[in-house]
Amino acid sequence: MEKLIITAAICGAEVTKEHNPNVPYTVEEIVEEAYNAYKAGASIIHLHVREDDGTPTQDKNRFEKCINGIKERCKDVIIQPSTGGAVGMTNDERLQPIYLNPEMATLDCGTCNFGGDEIFINTENTIIEFANRMNELGIKPEIEVFDKGMVDMAVRLHRKGYIKAPLHFNFVLGVNGGITATPRDLIYLVNSIPVGSTYTVTGIGRNEFNMAVMGIIMGGHVRVGYEDNIYMSKGVLAKSNGELVERVVRLAKELGREIASPDEARKILNI
């Protein structure tokens, strides 16, 4: 079984310091949390950025400051900006960080009801536009999947030439409005992707570590971090993203998976 790639989603767009005071907002805090995760064993930093007051932003200049700071502390880490941004942002807003030429970026492949009146909209034309822009810039897309239809959309667009092989998926399980986080659901998703594809498993909230174990034993890869979960156990807040990554490293070692370095991750993902 190949080595395990750990992605750290260090802040997201929705979780706040009111949820966990260690959630990073400022450039300095974001860089420090990226370093904590990298030092613990993360090869990929999945990056959203915030204004100093915690407001989510896709501002290119803000991304540039954070990316430069992370690169100074984590020389070889893979930085994966989000093009999801936050609900309500325009396509042009969401695409800003790809013009900093990252190695990877996210490609959301469907629309999802996030709860209440929040709808995360990704039309077919939006997905094609984002894929084309990434192709032009030589950026590896990570296909974000919240439900089975998003796998089907990605496979169909791959057959049409918009998304290039080998495909890499991130299965996000347990989001309100998306597929539930059960072994049955993960197996169903994994069995739905093309041969030769790679995948990461992301469990939301209390599902984070259960899904991490499933990803480890099935030969996939794992994402953890404050974007997805702020607790180490029920009622116990995680002190840092690094602490969440450290737990995955321990689980992987107990289950016989070695941890991939950033350069090993690049080879596995064909970056």
Ramachandran angles phi, psi of 221, nearest 5°: -125, 175
Query: Does 265 score more than 90 pLDDT?
Result: yes
Secondary structure (3-state) at 69: helix
- Proportion of the chain above pLDDT 70, given as a percent: 100
Kindly give, in sequence order, each residue whose CB lies less than 8 Å from that of residue 104, ignoring residues fewer than 6 positions away.
Answer: 44, 78, 79, 80, 139, 140, 141, 142, 269, 271
**Among candidates 227, 225, 230, which has minimal Cα distance to 246?**
225
Tell me the pLDDT band of 139, cut-offs 50, 70 and 90.
very high
Tell me the pLDDT band of 59, cut-offs 50, 70 and 90.
very high
Ramachandran angles phi, psi of 247, nearest 5°: -65, -40
Tokens of residue 160, six digits: 């049409």
Question: Which tens digits make up the pLDDT trace of 62-103?
Answer: 999 999 999 999 999 999 999 999 889 999 999 999 999 999
Between CA 251 and CA 258 the distance in angstroms is: 10
Q: Could you state, in order of their start, the residue ranges of all structural domains in the chain? A: 6-269
* Contact yes or no for 96/59 (Cβ under 8 A): yes
Question: Which tens digits make up the pLDDT trace of 142-201?
Answer: 999 999 999 999 999 999 999 999 999 999 999 999 999 999 999 999 999 999 999 999
Question: Which tens digits make up the pLDDT trace of 204-263?
Answer: 999 999 999 999 999 999 999 999 999 999 999 999 999 999 999 999 999 999 999 999
Which amino acid, 184? Answer: R
Ramachandran angles phi, psi of 144, nearest 5°: -85, 125
Please tell me the predicted confidence (pLDDT) of residue 115: 83
Supply the mean pLDDT for the chain. 97
Provide CATH code, domain 6-269.
3.20.20.70
**Among candidates 173, 151, 150, 169, which has minimal Cα distance to 229?**
173
Whether the link from the prior residue into 166 is cis, omega within 30° of 0, is: yes
* Contact yes or no for 2/39 (Cβ under 8 A): no
In order, the DSSP letters of 100-128 are G--SEEEEE-S-EEEETTEEE---HHHHH
